[in-house]
Structure 1
Amino acid sequence: MGCRMMRPFVLDEEVITRLKSWPRPVRNNGKVMYSRQEVGDDEMKSEERELLNMASMQESKKQKVDEGEGEEGGTDEEGMYVDDEGEEDEEPHKDWNILEFGEFVQAFWASSSPRILERKCYSLIWEAIEADFQRGKTRAIVVGNPGIGKSGFLVYVMWKLLHRGCKILLQNKAGERTLFQHGQGVRISEFDSRAVLSDKELYYLVDGRLPLPPLFLGKLILTCSPLLENYKEVKKDGRRTVFYMPVWKSDELAAADQEIFKLGISFWSERFKRWGGLARFVLEQCDEEADKSLTDAIDGSRNIIKVVEAQVSERDEASHKILHMMVRNDFRTYKYVFASKHVSEKVFRNLYQTHKSGLTSFLLFSGNPTLNSARANFLELLCREVLPKGGLFQTKCVYANGQGDPVQAERFDRLQAKESTQWQNAPWDFMFWPTKTTQRSWDAFRLRKGGGHVCLDLYQVTLSSAKHQHGIKAKGVLDLKAEVESVLNLKIPLENITVYIVTLIDLFENGGYQNWRGVQNHVLKDERLLRKLRSIVQKVMGVPV
């Protein structure tokens, strides 16, 4: 059966040629670089001190921790917001490609800008899809939060395929289908599509949803939100692979603003601090109505578990303003993190003041591993609230041989909380918390004088407090020890260091000794080093809501 071509919309050869000329590179002096950024990996630095050398180098390269490393055990060091990952990057912007197509794209996506930033992840996800196609897969689903450029990715893929002269059937969110072949693009009806879909060489690109996929023999690329009904039937297909698209990072927003939106860094960066990496609300929808929707979403988030459920079971835009997907390097796995520090602190404050039972339920909820980082985030906020106030807390000493001292009610001083960057100015009688959540292996510390000695207390906040489940990175502890010794011009014996494994009081009973880890989270095996590290006191500490 031939295709009946409908007249309303035709792309002639000149337009197709112009499409093939994409992209026009942004003018700068750099080089295009696409690189996967590791989440939470510390870079080794050469150290003169014997202990630091040993902690950095003497790792078992084969044995990793079985418990907790993949999710909760690693999340505390990985960064609790997507924007944590970009905070350390102070390099100038790299080359960015801007896809230019005038009014063409608006014929398919009326809400899209005629210029689109080619995000770093576009080429990486496309390479992964092509690799899967070569291995026999024929359906690729790309899932991501709304407002991050999934439609732009589909435009990018179409441009790539046009360069090869591929036959493409493009379906927009309104369900309109356009066939590209032989240098022309024409709109066709659903009836006309049937013959086209029987072509094994066809690339079927769908934007938004495909609840009932038609029978077809070619390759499918579907971009959609996490709402399950958008792709449930496609997901059942054994030939499919699911990829996840990350939200935007600050360097991408800066490039898009510089080349397209022209809002100015002071404007968009303030929005980024509140919204996180949803480019739509950072760069495009910047009005009071959008900002009110964020406030309403925060105020309505009394049950975080239901917020996650709403992303996959309901057409709920509010949930995506609270929780974002932090996508891992392979684009095949993710975890949920709060959209921004602003959002997490507001939601936590609401729960802590008005709904403590809901806060406790969320902290104890272990039914969804993708929520572990968000749970760890809230536990840290709880500890920031409770620990500086001092008072009596349940603690117990734990040892490498598995034994432990009886539980005691230990009294802690009331301390003022400060950012850790300020500790050198007033080292005593404060509890110091890091400004950023990345590249550190402790959550808080304090210096105190006891028995004529200077003592260093470190606090590691974790929901994974069972024996060896979380681990302690030796280099982070020893780095801080060395810094304090250098600034104060004194020595702190290892036995004067206490590491508190701080967990929720409900999990306190099962808390145990934590093994020592290297910079890549491998368990340290060097007995000479471990004998020294075992001089450091470990205590489990329970914190109530």
Structure 2
Amino acid sequence: LPPKKTRLDTNSLMDAIKEAGLTQKAVVDNKSDLSLLDYKERVSVLGFLGRPVDKTDTYDSLSTIAFALRNSSFQEMKILSTPPGSDTLFPVVDTKDIFVRQAYKDLYDEVSLKFQDSPMNMARKRVVVTGTSGIGKSAFLVYFTIRLLTTSSDDNPPIVIFQEKGGSKCYVYGRLSTLRYGDIEDFRPFLNLPETWYLVDSSPNPLLVRAKTIISVSPKTLYSEMNQYQEIDKRVPWRYYMAPWTLEELEQCRSGVEGFKVIPKNLMEELYGMIGGVPRYVLEKPMDVLNLNPSNTAGAKKSACARVWQAIDFVRAPLRMMQCFEGKESLEYSSRLLHRWPTDGHEGFHLEWASAYIANKIGESLQDVTWQQILEKLTGVNVGTAKGPMFELYVRHIFRKGGYEFQIKELQDGTDITFK
């Protein structure tokens, strides 16, 4: 018998096409053309590109979980879990479970609808998913990948390219059977196909290509000086602003995800009142401390609040407080203090204080010169999205300080009343 073909670690597309036995179909005038191949044939070529992925790699779990969920209803799903009895963790989040927000389901449906393959739909299929840091935008990409692999037809299996955070490395899925790893450039020919899915987890160098593209990114990165994100800002008009978590969502996650059950409910509620609806601080940080010592609630609270307290200290200086309101230069700090809540349709946002606790702490620490700057800003014309929290902060200040008079007009008879 002839020796069985082995899958090579190769970065040459022409070699991969040859190994897949598709040279006659996919090579024209000595140039490759993947568009001539059907979906299954593209997966065959993918199997000879990049490098194989070890079973211990967390990204391998997505295929395994997708296979196990083939007959499941994603609309009813509240928790995604790795296989029982295994030590496998989800990539990105490094937990054995993922709480499925309703926002994930809604956005999946919206993307699927807008990104349909149709001769009538000629728009660039791209979306930037952004919002307050630490609310699970990256976890959405994991959910999206699993659901896409689970629900896609075996006859038309999608190619899904998942670019990791912080670099150019990526994992590429073809059906449930093929998973390869390598540099994004190794798989660029697939990115030129409009049927390919390209998911970007806050990489510093996302590509603008023909593939259906979902870029998950924090406001800090989106509005950075990196040239590629300046292009993203200009050329990807669809923004989806994901909301911070409600207390109800946090409790469902705490009680449903095994790793978070170590956090007492009253501690979680206290942290929510101080920090707001960001699971990175309200759940993940205290979990890490309590897993080492379940009775160390003081340490868990300190760990959860550390970065918020750091941000409050940072903005005490007048100039920094105004930068916090105005945006880009201090987004690393301001995003811990001011949360982005989506407007109707999730294509815009308004700012709100992360919590009344934070607003009070900042109000207690600001100098007179800062209050004067805030008042001048409020009476100006270019206040922008910061007007609401800026006004709230100033009102808290004058009520706390006292000594002010306010003129109030009765709506029914127009009588003026002085309020002290």
Structure 1 length-normalised TM:
0.55
Q: Structure 2: which amino acid aligns with 1:271?
A: L
8 Å CA contact 1:197, 1:215 repeated in 2? no
Give, in angstroms, the shift of residue 14 of structure 1.
Answer: 9.3
8 Å CA contact 1:10, 1:187 repeated in 2? no
Of residues 50, 59, 63, the one that matches 1:16 is 63
Alignment of 1:392-403 (within 5 A): 393=405, 395=407
Give, in angstroms, the shift of residue 372 of structure 1.
Answer: 1.9
8 Å CA contact 1:137, 1:240 repeated in 2? no
Is residue 101 from structure 1 mapped to residue 82 from structure 2 by the alignment?
A: yes
1:141 counterpart residue number: 128
CA distance 1:328–1:181, change in 2 (3 Å): same
Q: Within 1, Cα distance between the matches of 2:190 and 2:212?
A: 12
Is residue 253 from structure 1 mapped to residue 250 from structure 2 by the alignment?
A: yes
CA distance 1:125–1:15, change in 2 (3 Å): closer
8 Å CA contact 2:353, 2:389 repeated in 1? yes
Q: Deviations over 1:188-242 (max 9, x none)?
A: 323311222122210000001354x4353211000000021373222222x6411
Q: Structure 2: which amino acid aligns with 1:233?
A: E
Name the SS of the counterpart of 2:366 in structure 1: helix
8 Å CA contact 1:138, 1:240 repeated in 2? no
Unaligned runs of 5+ in 1: 26-30, 34-94, 396-458, 460-497, 500-532
Is residue 208 from structure 1 mapped to residue 222 from structure 2 by the alignment?
A: no
1:296 counterpart residue number: 310
Q: Within 1, Cα distance between the matches of 2:216 and 2:370?
A: 37
Q: Within 2, Cα distance between the matches of 1:14 and 1:367?
A: 49
Q: Within 1, Cα distance between the matches of 2:50 and 2:254?
A: 38
Give, in angstroms, the shift of residue 158 of structure 1.
Answer: 0.8
CA distance 1:344–1:23, change in 2 (3 Å): farther
CA distance 1:308–1:222, change in 2 (3 Å): farther
Alignment of 1:279-318 (within 5 A): 279-286=279-286, 287=300, 288-302=302-316, 303-310=320-327, 312-313=328-329, 316-318=331-333
CA distance 1:322–1:361, change in 2 (3 Å): farther
8 Å CA contact 1:22, 1:100 repeated in 2? no
Give, in angstroms, the shift of residue 361 of structure 1.
Answer: 3.8
Q: Structure 1: which amino acid aligns with 2:207?
A: P
CA distance 1:140–1:540, change in 2 (3 Å): farther
Name the SS of the counterpart of 1:129 in structure 2: helix
Aligned length: 333
Name the SS of the counterpart of 1:285 in structure 2: helix
1:157 counterpart residue number: 144
Of residues 339, 363, 367, the one that matches 1:324 is 339
Q: Within 2, Cα distance between the matches of 1:113 and 1:24?
A: 24
1:378 counterpart residue number: 393
RMSD: 3.2
2:35 counterpart residue number: none
Q: Within 2, Cα distance between the matches of 1:335 and 1:14?
A: 37
Is residue 181 from structure 1 mapped to residue 142 from structure 2 by the alignment?
A: no
2:49 counterpart residue number: 5
Q: Within 1, Cα distance between the matches of 2:378 and 2:60?
A: 59
Is residue 266 from structure 1 mapped to residue 266 from structure 2 by the alignment?
A: yes
Give, in angstroms, the shift of residue 377 of structure 1.
Answer: 1.0
Judging by fraction of residues, say which structure has more helix. Answer: 2
Give, in angstroms, the shift of residue 130 of structure 1.
Answer: 3.0
1:125 counterpart residue number: 107
Q: Within 2, Cα distance between the matches of 1:199 and 1:104?
A: 32
Name the SS of the counterpart of 2:339 in structure 1: strand
8 Å CA contact 2:375, 2:394 repeated in 1? no
8 Å CA contact 1:24, 1:99 repeated in 2? no
Q: Deviations over 1:92-119 (max 9, x none)?
A: xxx761111356554x42x532211111
Give, in angstroms, the shift of residue 131 of structure 1.
Answer: 3.5
8 Å CA contact 1:304, 1:362 repeated in 2? no
Q: 96-105 or 145-154: which moved more?
A: 96-105
Q: Which structure would you say has the larger Rg? A: 1
2:348 counterpart residue number: 333
1:74 counterpart residue number: none
Judging by fraction of residues, say which structure has more strand. Answer: 1
8 Å CA contact 1:10, 1:185 repeated in 2? no
Q: Within 2, Cα distance between the matches of 1:117 and 1:23?
A: 19
8 Å CA contact 1:167, 1:202 repeated in 2? yes
Q: Structure 1: which amino acid aligns with 2:142?
A: V
1:493 counterpart residue number: none
Q: Structure 2: which amino acid aligns with 1:172?
A: E
Q: Structure 1: which amino acid aligns with 2:253?
A: A
1:172 counterpart residue number: 164
1:534 counterpart residue number: 412
Q: Structure 1: which amino acid aligns with 2:199?
A: L
Name the SS of the counterpart of 2:80 in structure 1: strand
Q: Deviations over 1:246-288 (max 9, x none)?
A: 1111011000110121112101000001100111100111342
Q: Structure 2: which amino acid aligns with 1:293?
A: R
Q: Within 2, Cα distance between the matches of 1:19 and 1:236?
A: 35
Of residues 234, 237, 240, the one that matches 1:236 is 234
Q: Deviations over 1:394-450 (max 9, x none)?
A: 74xxxxxxxxxxxxxxxxxxxxxxxxxxxxxxxxxxxxxxxxxxxxxxxxxxxxxxx
Name the SS of the counterpart of 1:112 in structure 2: coil
CA distance 1:24–1:100, change in 2 (3 Å): farther
Q: Within 2, Cα distance between the matches of 1:538 and 1:128?
A: 51
Unaligned runs of 5+ in 2: 1-12, 17-45, 287-299
Q: Within 2, Cα distance between the matches of 1:256 and 1:247?
A: 14
Q: Within 2, Cα distance between the matches of 1:246 and 1:371?
A: 17
Name the SS of the counterpart of 1:343 in structure 2: helix
Q: Within 1, Cα distance between the matches of 2:71 and 2:269?
A: 26
2:39 counterpart residue number: none
Structure 2 length-normalised TM:
0.70
8 Å CA contact 1:244, 1:334 repeated in 2? yes
Q: Deviations over 1:109-164 (max 9, x none)?
A: 2x532211111111222233333324524111001122110111111111221121
Q: Within 2, Cα distance between the matches of 1:152 and 1:121?
A: 11
CA distance 1:266–1:22, change in 2 (3 Å): farther
